[in-house]
Amino acid sequence: MKKTCSPICIEPLEERIAPAAITFTDVDGDKVQVKTNTGSFVLGYSTIGIPGGKQLDTITVTTGTNVNLTVSVLAKAPHGDGLVNVGQIVGNPGVTFGTITVPGDLGELTLNGTAGKTVLQTLNVRSFGVLGSATGATLNANNTVESDVTGNIGTMNIAGDLQGAYLNLTGNLGALHIKGSLFGLSTDNAGSVNASGNIGAVTIGGDILGAGSTGSGGITANDIGTVTVGGSVNGGIGLLSGTVSAQNTLGTVNIRGNLNGGGGQTSGTIQSSGNMGSVTVGGSMVGVGNTSGTIFMQNVGGKLGTVKIGRNIDGGFNQADSGSILSDGSIGLVTVGGTITGGGSGTADYSGTIQATGNLGTAFVGGGLTFGHDANCGVITAGGTVKSVRVNGSSSGCVLAGAQVGSVSFGAEFSGDVEVTSGGLQKLAIGGDLTGGNTSTVAEDIGAVTVGGLVAEGSVVQSAGGIIGSVVVKGDVKNGGGFESKFDMPSVTIGGTMEGFLDSTAGNIGNVRIGGSMFESGIEAVAGTIGAVSVAGSVGESLIISNLTDSAKAAEIGSITVGGNWVASSATAGFKDAAPSDGYGNAGDSLAALSGKIGSIIIHGEVIGATVAPMHTGFDAQSIGTFQMGSNVLKLGSTPVGITLSYETGGNVGIHIAPF
C-alpha cells in the first residue's frame, strides 16, 4: 500500500551514496535536483502544494569530506518561481563541506565540525531565515530559528536578506556578504550572526535593523575586519539590537546611511572592546535610548581611528551617552558635516558628544555645537590633549580638555565655554560674538584670543596659571565681560566700547587700545606694570591700576591717552586708597609698590569728577612725565605735588605725586 503524507508529515528518502542526485517536484511544480560530489545524504520532506509537490524540509549529509552540496531547479513549472526553499541542512559529525548552494531560502544550518578547522568553505543562498520555521526549520527555547555551527566557515554569500535567523558559530567566519538587509525580529538574537572567533569582512547592501528583542539584528565576533553597510544601522527597542560589536578589535566601518539608536539600551551602535579603525557614517547619528546611536571604543588606552559623520549628531533626550562618539582611549580626526546637538534631561550626561578619555586629534564640525539640558551634553571633550577644534556654526556647547590644546575656533557666535584643566591653549578664535556669561578657563598659557564680534553678558576668558599672548576684540566688551591672566597679557585691542575688565593677577599688561569709550571698567595689573593705554572715546567710572600688592617691584603705566573726557575715573601706579571709598588722587593714598611711575597722561576732553559723594578721583604716582588736559599741558616729573583739577559735588579730581 502506498504511503501518503499530510502537510506536516516528514518522510526520509533513501540514503544515497555520492556522486549521486535525487530529483523531485517542488511545492510549486518546479523540477528540483539535490546533488553532491562525494559522501552520502538523506532528504526529508513534507507533502504540500500542488499534487505530488514536496517541501524539502531537511538535507542531512551523513558522510563525506569537502562535500559540494548543490540544490538546483532543473525545469521551471508554468506557475513555478524557479526557487527552492530548504528548511534545514545538517552535517553529521566529521562531515566537511566545500560549497553549499541553495537557490532559495535556507532556514537553518547545523554543522558538526571540529573546532579550529574549516567545516564549510562557501555558502551560497538566496536568503537566510526569511521563511522562519515554515519550511521545516526548528525553533529554539526563545522561539528563534537557530543555526549552530562548530568549525570555521570561509564565506557566506546571501543574495537577499538575512531575516530572523540566528547563526551561532563556534569558530571563525572569513567573510559575510548580504546583498539585502539584516533584519531582527521580536525574539532574542533573531536576525543576528554571532561568532566565537573572528569575522574577516562584513558587507551588507541594505540595512541592519534591530527589533524588540535582545540582540536582534546584530553582528558579534571576537575580531571583525571590515564592515560595509549600504543603508543604515537602526537599533530597536531590544537591548543590544541593531549593533555591530567586536569583543576585541574592529577594523574599518563604512555606513552609507544613518546610525540610528532605538529605545533599547546600546541599540544601533558600533562598538569594540579593543581598538577600532576608521568609521564613516554618510548620514546622521541619532541617539534614542541609553548609549544608542553611538560609536564606542571601550579599550582603555586604545585607539579609535578617523571618524567621519556626513550630517548631524543628535543626542537622546534623558539618555546618557546616546548619539555620541566615545573612546576609552584616543580618537584621531573627527569630521561632522552638520550640527552636534546635546540631549539630556535630569542626569543624562554625555549625549550628543565627542569624548575621548585620552587624546583627541582634530575635530571639525561643519554646523554648530549645541549644549543640551544636562552637564556635558553637546560637548567635545578629551582627558588628554586636543590637537584642534573647528566649529563653523553658532555654538552653545563646550570644549573640555585635560591637557594641552592646539587651537579652538568657532565661525559664528559662541555662548559656551572652553576649559583646559592642565595645560595651555595656543589659540581661541570666535568669528562672531562671545556671549552666555560663561567663564572659559585654561590652566596655563593662552597664545591668542580673537573675537570677531562683541564680548557680552559677563563672558570671561581666563588663563588661571599662565599668560594670554594677545587679545583682539573687534566689537565691544560689555556687561562685565573681560579677560584675566595670572601672568602677562602683552597686547589688547578692543575695537568698540569697553564695559568690562582686563586683569593680570601676577604679571604685566602690555599696550591696550580701545576704539570706543571705556565705562565702568578696570585695567588692573595688580602686581605688575601696564604699557600704553589708548582710549579713542571717553573714560568714565573706571580704574587703571599698576601693582598694589608687591612692594619689591616697581609700578608703572607707560602712557594714558584719551580722545574724549575723563569722568570720575582714576589711574594709580603703585598707590593704594588709604581710606576705603575715599578714592584716588589725594595725599592720603599710600605707596604699596617699590616705586610708581606714569609716563604721560593726555586727555583731549575735560576732566570731570564724581557727582555722588564721597568719591575723590584722580592720578597717583611718584612721577608723571607730562599731563595734558585739553590744550593745557603740565610738565610734572617727580616733584611732589598735589593738584586739584576739578571740583565736583561728589568729589574732586586731583593729581597726587608723592616723593620717592
542-554 pLDDT tens trace: 999 999 999 999 9
Its sign, for the CA torsion 440, 446, 452, 458, is positive
Percent with pLDDT over 70 in the chain = 93
- d(CA 134, CA 210) in angstroms, rounded, equals 22
Q: Which residue is it, cell 582634530? A: 362
Going by C-alpha positions, the residue among 503, 502, 620, 492 that lies closest to residue 555 is: 620
C-alpha cell at 426: 595656543
CB neighbour burial string for 303-323, b if at least 16 within 10 angstroms, e if fewer: bbbbbbbbbbbbbbbbbbbbb
- The predicted pLDDT at position 643 comes to 85
pLDDT at 12 over 50: no
DSSP three-state, residue 467: coil
Tens digits of residue pLDDT in 340-397: 998 755 445 678 899 999 999 999 999 999 986 556 678 999 999 999 999 999 999 9
DSSP three-state, residue 292: coil
- The predicted pLDDT at position 655 comes to 86
Which positions ≥6 away from 1 have C-beta within 8 Å? none
Least trusted range by pLDDT, from 592-601, 609-618, 635-644: 609-618
Least trusted range by pLDDT, from 29-33, 52-56, 247-251, 309-313: 52-56
What are the phi and psi torsion angles at 339 (to 5°)?
Answer: -105, 145
Decide if 418 contacts 407 (C-beta within 8 A).
Answer: no
C-alpha cell at 388: 584642534
Residue ranges of alpha helices (H) inside 105-251 are none
- The predicted pLDDT at position 652 comes to 80
User: How much is the average pLDDT of 113-124?
Assistant: 97
pTM above 0.85, yes or no: yes
C-alpha cell at 440: 572659559
- d(CA 43, CA 420) in angstroms, rounded, equals 70
**Beta-bridge mates of residue 526:** none
Tens digits of residue pLDDT in 271-289: 999 999 999 999 999 999 8
**DSSP assignment, residue 250?**
B
User: How much is the average pLDDT of 164-169?
Assistant: 97
In Å, how far are 27, 28, 30, 34, 42 from 79, measured between CA atoms?
11, 7, 8, 21, 28
What are the phi and psi torsion angles at 507 (to 5°)?
Answer: -140, -160
* Confidence band for 16, pLDDT divided at 50, 70 and 90: low
* Confidence band for 18, pLDDT divided at 50, 70 and 90: low
- d(CA 326, CA 356) in angstroms, rounded, equals 6
pLDDT at 207 over 50: yes
pLDDT at 640 over 80: yes
Q: How many CA atoms are closer than 13 Å to the CA of 392, on its beta-carbon side?
A: 9
- Strand 607-608 to 566-567 pairing: parallel
- The predicted pLDDT at position 10 comes to 44
* Confidence band for 213, pLDDT divided at 50, 70 and 90: very high
Tens digits of residue pLDDT in 413-460: 999 999 999 999 999 999 999 998 888 999 999 999 999 999 999 999
pLDDT at 585 over 90: no
- The predicted pLDDT at position 345 comes to 53
Q: Which residue is it, cell 553597510? A: 229
